[in-house]
């Protein structure tokens, strides 16, 4: 528990002053207007000193669904400390039912607080560093009460590049993108908010050298209870330093070195230096342990060393890069793995089922949506079937009429269940095999070596494997980091429109793919499995 100390907030700041505070190099502000309660916005100062480990910068701008008077308090630890309430709700006269917020949230919104700015950038991409904090944590981290941050550029909503793209508790909590979330229910940080994110980034495409319009703000969703706050670092909406997202892969029991600065942009002074990993200040040689268990070390040459913790899982963390002038940006690192079949799995073709490893490019395979389709590529690799590389066995007739089969842990199975429609609005979803393990009909089997096989079509398909509907290989940002260079070259030759770094240029997934926490919710809600 820490003592409460009130952070200075100038709630009399004009819209133009707030705009000038958050916009940085490479941008000229032309005009600005604010909509919301007069106590729900302001310019803060002394953030690094008064609320260390929390604020995204020493100065910046705040927007709240309540009164910013309740964001921090002057209160000693023995009198409740900095976080004395688990359900703080302060009054706001901000607008209800704003059409842009309502449409983005998919529900009625209340107590909106936002700024509209017209500006001219010199480049075609801006970034914004921010923290989302909320009293909705932890009780309403998942559910309908999703206080929502909205950013629109020239009328188009800008999405976060992790999770489902939303900046709300459902996408950013201890279970979903948990490395990006910090729990404050034990009063470790100087704020009344029960939870908040690490400093995150939003990349905003703009039209260079002409007037653009942006709206940035926050609103309550479904009801007007429980305060939430958007905190934007001063000078962070800029295009001079851009830390671009990185996608990689690491063996659950291995180590991988990643040069996160290689794809970053610095149009300012000097060179870029990594200053923070997942919100924690670092120097060369320092190691940060993520909530998910993996470690990230900053090497002397500026690269990052990722070490697995034995779990095969997708995870995300952030890093901050800064130039010699002190201009910085934050980037996401998304770590993934590749789904594949186990050799021996019988794949349905027009002439009947055949072992997957006997297929070759050009062979016809039966698909759920488009009938017989030709394979474009097939690949195979052999690994030790231990720990999180051990295959998942699905017993016969577990998910309908099918034979028993083995899949890699991240290979997704088509699930058709009324619960899926109730929870996610889709009658059919794709779920990773590892997320279906129940230690009865779906089990992890260890021992020996296993051959994993990948099959690729012109577009993502659902195929019939031992009678069970499962996915084909879906190229994504993990591709370039999961295969040898010559294999990546082969795939990109077949699909020249495919961006080897991002996976863009290939078809979208054949069905909605559930994240791990969504799959856990589906299973916990009573997914039927034999």
Same domain, 160 and 83: yes
- The residue among 209, 233, 257 that closes a domain is 233
Residue 285 located in a structural domain? yes
Res. 44 pLDDT band, cuts 50 70 90 = very high
- The residue among 335, 368, 384 that closes a domain is 335
Same domain, 102 and 167: yes
pLDDT digits (tens, 9 = 90+) for 54-88: 999 999 999 999 999 888 865 544 445 455 555 55
Residue 495 located in a structural domain? no
**For residue 479, what is the enclosing H or E element?**
helix 479-482
| % the chain with pLDDT above 90 | 60
pLDDT digits (tens, 9 = 90+) for 370-401: 999 999 999 887 877 877 778 999 999 999 99
Q: What is the pTM of this model?
A: 0.71
Backbone angles phi, psi at 518, to 5 degrees: -70, -40
Strands (E), 338-410: 341-342, 346-349, 352-355, 364-367, 371-374, 377-384, 392-394, 405-407
Say which range, 137-146, 318-327, 433-442, has the weakest mean pLDDT: 137-146
pLDDT at position 85 is 59
With a cut of 80, say whether residue 115 has pLDDT above it.
Answer: yes
- The residue among 233, 255, 280 that closes a domain is 233
Same domain, 347 and 373: yes
With a cut of 60, say whether residue 165 has pLDDT above it.
Answer: yes
Same domain, 379 and 401: yes
Of 398, 391, 393, 438, the C-alpha closest to 414 is 398
Residue 481 located in a structural domain? no
pLDDT at position 171 is 85
Same domain, 27 and 156: yes
With a cut of 50, say whether residue 20 has pLDDT above it.
Answer: yes
Q: Averaged over 334-361, what is the pLDDT?
A: 88
Strand, helix or coil at 480?
helix
Residue 483 located in a structural domain? no
Q: How many helices (H) and strands (E) does the chain have?
A: 7, 39
| Count of CB atoms situated within 10 Å of the CB of 492 | 17
Q: Averaged over 106-118, what is the pLDDT?
A: 95
Same domain, 77 and 22: yes
pLDDT at position 106 is 87
Res. 224 pLDDT band, cuts 50 70 90 = confident
With a cut of 70, say whether residue 1 has pLDDT above it.
Answer: no
Same domain, 416 and 444: yes
pLDDT at position 530 is 60
Cβ(353)–Cβ(333) below 8 Å:
no
Residue 358 located in a structural domain? yes
Higher-confidence residue of 119 and 189: namely: 119
> Which of 270-274, 404-408, 449-453 has the highest mean predicted lDDT (pLDDT)?
270-274
Say which range, 95-99, 272-276, 383-387, 464-468, has the weakest mean pLDDT: 383-387
Backbone angles phi, psi at 475, to 5 degrees: -60, 140
Strand, helix or coil at 163?
coil
Residue 486 located in a structural domain? no
Same domain, 81 and 220: yes
Same domain, 208 and 73: yes
Same domain, 204 and 298: no
With a cut of 90, say whether residue 355 has pLDDT above it.
Answer: yes
pLDDT at position 338 is 63
Q: Averaged over 214-226, what is the pLDDT?
A: 90
Strands (E), 369-471: 371-374, 377-384, 392-394, 405-407, 412-416, 428-432, 442-444, 449-456, 462-465, 468-471
DSSP bridge partners of 130: 200, 232
Number of domains in the chain: 3
Of 28, 203, 30, 18, the C-alpha closest to 118 is 30
CA distance 399 to 529: 6
Instruction: Give the CATH number for residue 351.
Output: 2.170.16.10
Instruction: Write out 216-235 in H/E/C secondary structure.
Output: EEEEEECCCCCCEEEEEECC
- State the residue range of the domain holding 39: 9-233
pLDDT digits (tens, 9 = 90+) for 492-523: 787 788 776 666 778 889 999 998 888 888 88
Same domain, 31 and 156: yes
* Burial category of 270 from C-beta neighbours within 10 Å (exposed 0-12, middle 13-18, buried 19 and up): exposed
Residue 307 located in a structural domain? yes
With a cut of 70, say whether residue 339 has pLDDT above it.
Answer: no
pLDDT at position 451 is 87
Same domain, 169 and 284: no
CA distance 80 to 188: 12
Higher-confidence residue of 337 and 473: namely: 473
pLDDT at position 78 is 44
With a cut of 80, say whether residue 142 has pLDDT above it.
Answer: no
With a cut of 90, say whether residue 218 has pLDDT above it.
Answer: yes
pLDDT at position 458 is 93
| Count of CB atoms situated within 10 Å of the CB of 460 | 21
DSSP bridge partners of 268: none
pLDDT at position 77 is 47
With a cut of 80, say whether residue 311 has pLDDT above it.
Answer: no
Residue 410 located in a structural domain? yes
Instruction: Give the CATH number for residue 263.
Output: 2.60.40.10
Res. 484 pLDDT band, cuts 50 70 90 = low
Higher-confidence residue of 43 and 147: namely: 43
Summary mean pLDDT of the chain: 88
| % the chain with pLDDT above 70 | 91
């Amino acid at each position: 528990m820490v003592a409460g100390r009130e952070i200075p907030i100038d709630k009399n700041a004009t819209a133009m002053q707030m705009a000038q505070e958050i916009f940085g190099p490479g941008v000229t502000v032309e005009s600005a207007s604010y909509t919301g309660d007069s106590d729900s916005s302001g310019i803060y100062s002394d953030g690094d000193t008064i609320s260390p480990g929390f604020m995204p910068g020493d100065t910046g701008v705040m927007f709240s669904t309540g009164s910013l008077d309740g964001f921090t308090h002057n209160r000693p630890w023995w009198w409740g400390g900095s976080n004395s309430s688990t359900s703080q709700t302060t009054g706001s006269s901000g607008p209800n039912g704003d059409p842009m917020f309502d449409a983005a949230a998919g529900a009625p919104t209340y107590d909106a607080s936002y700024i509209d700015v017209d500006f001219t950038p010199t480049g075609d991409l801006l970034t914004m560093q921010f923290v989302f904090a909320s009293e909705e944590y932890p009780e309403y981290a998942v559910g309908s009460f999703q206080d929502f941050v909205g950013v629109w550029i020239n009328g188009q909503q800008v999405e976060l590049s992790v999770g489902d793209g939303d900046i709300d508790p459902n996408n950013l909590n201890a279970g979903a993108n948990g490395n990006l979330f910090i729990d404050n229910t034990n009063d470790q940080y100087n704020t009344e908010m029960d939870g908040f994110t690490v400093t995150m980034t939003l990349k905003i495409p703009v039209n260079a050298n002409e007037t653009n319009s942006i709206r940035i703000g926050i609103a309550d969703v479904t009801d007007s209870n429980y305060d939430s706050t958007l905190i934007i670092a001063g000078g962070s909406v800029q295009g001079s330093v851009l830390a671009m997202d990185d996608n990689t892969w690491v063996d659950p029991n291995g180590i991988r070195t990643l040069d996160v600065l290689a794809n970053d942009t610095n149009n300012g002074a000097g060179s870029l230096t990594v200053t923070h990993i997942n919100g924690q200040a670092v120097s060369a040689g320092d190691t940060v342990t993520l909530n998910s268990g993996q470690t990230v070390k900053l090497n002397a040459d500026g690269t990052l060393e990722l070490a697995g913790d034995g779990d095969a899982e997708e995870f995300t963390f952030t890093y901050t890069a800064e130039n010699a002038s002190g201009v910085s940006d934050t980037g996401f690192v998304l770590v993934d793995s590749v789904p594949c079949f186990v050799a021996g799995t019988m794949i349905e073709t027009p002439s009947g089922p055949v072992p997957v490893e006997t297929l070759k490019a050009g062979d016809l395979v039966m698909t759920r949506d488009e009938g017989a389709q030709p394979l474009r590529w097939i690949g195979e690799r052999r690994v030790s079937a231990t720990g999180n590389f051990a295959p998942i066995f699905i017993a016969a007739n577990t998910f309908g009429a099918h034979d028993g089969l083995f899949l890699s842990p991240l290979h997704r199975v088509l699930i058709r269940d009324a619960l899926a429609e109730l929870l996610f609005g889709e009658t059919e979803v794709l779920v990773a095999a590892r997320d279906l393990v129940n230690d009865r009909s779906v089990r992890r089997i260890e021992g020996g070596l296993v051959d994993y096989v990948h099959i690729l079509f012109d577009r993502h398909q659902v195929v019939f494997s031992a009678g069970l509907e499962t996915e084909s290989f879906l190229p994504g940002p993990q591709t370039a980091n999961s295969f040898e260079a010559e294999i990546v070259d082969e795939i990109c030759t077949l699909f020249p429109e495919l961006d080897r770094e991002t996976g863009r240029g290939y078809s979208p997934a054949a069905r909605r793919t559930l994240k791990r926490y969504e799959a856990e919710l589906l299973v916990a809600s009573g997914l039927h499995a034999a």
